[in-house]
Amino acid sequence: MTPNDLSNWARDLGFGLVGVCSATEPFQGFEYYKQWLDRGHHAEMGYLARQAHLKSSLESVLPGAKSAIVVGMNYAQPNPVRQGFPRIARYALGRDYHRVMRRRLATLAKQIGQSFPEAMFRACVDSAPIFERELANRAGLGWFGKNSMLINSRQGSMFLIGVLLTSAELPYSTPAKGGCGTCKKCIEACPTGAIVHTDGRWNVDSRKCISFWTIEAKSAPPPNIHKAGLAFGCDICQEVCPFNEPRSSQPERARTTDDPNLLPSGPDPSLDQIRDMSEAEWDSWTRGRAIRRSGYAGWKRNIR
């Protein structure tokens, strides 16, 4: 198996970005992550603190892991405001990406396994205590923006990250480099001031983040969250990012995904229809979609 084989297999599965990095190097972001937790920036997401010790090494996820294959799947697409309908973050407009990516990573593991029949694999899509973005940076997929998103200089930030850990030793990619320079468009555009500068770097304070309040939160959100008019997640900091603006010299930048799993399969119900939904109707509407994460009560709260 050559690096070109891996790249071709990944792209055939719908992963526009792919790279490989070591699974044994210590995580540079671990100490900073603990500082982020100590500041309470994880809000009500107590599981992040409880699982923090597991993030120090990939041994807890796949014992004997040597390499991390990191992939990116483009979800960029138009998402115009429609009066009377819920505003949903782009990544959640289609099928549940966790399921889509896991199936594809399982296929990729089988293809790689033909060259490494003794190798072990584990696919991770927001399902394990690992630093996905740091692995993605090491594997060359992108660099950290001020809004904490991983940004690819050619394709922007609207891509989902998946990781395939393996005990096979594969050639490593070159880490990505880049930066925002003096640009602060995402900071200025965030309606709740969630992008803050602490401990020498920019990060997101979940206690002010619209995505946290519309997806993870169990308690009632503060009034300024309602004013943003978002029902599930938020793309504001990405919408203003220059790296997500189309350019004739870089046709892949901000290119609309052609993956049917990530595009809407049909029109979502209106705000009024969601408000009047029974739990059984909500269950049918959200089945197989990432929007199910906020729960029936959470959707009712957000719509109100």
CA end-to-end span of the chain, whole Å? 54
- Helix then strand then coil, % of the chain, to nearest 5: 35, 15, 50
Which of 5, 12, 96, 126 is flagged as catalytic? 126
Please report which helix (H) or strand (E) contains residue 71, including its range.
strand 67-74
| String of DSSP letters for 109-129 | HHHHHTT-TT--EEEESS-SS
Q: Tell me the C-alpha distance between 92 and 286, whole Å.
A: 11
Q: Select from 80, 157, 69 the least CA-distant residue to 113.
A: 69
| String of DSSP letters for 186-204 | HHHH-TT--EEEETTEEEE
Tell me which DSSP letter residue 88 carries: B
Tokens of 151: 């940004």
* Largest distance between two CA atoms of the chain: 56
126 tagged catalytic: yes
Residues with Cβ within 8 Å of 157's Cβ and at least 6 positions away in sequence, in order, are: 142, 145, 149, 150, 151, 238, 241, 243, 244
Catalytically active residues, by annotation: 126
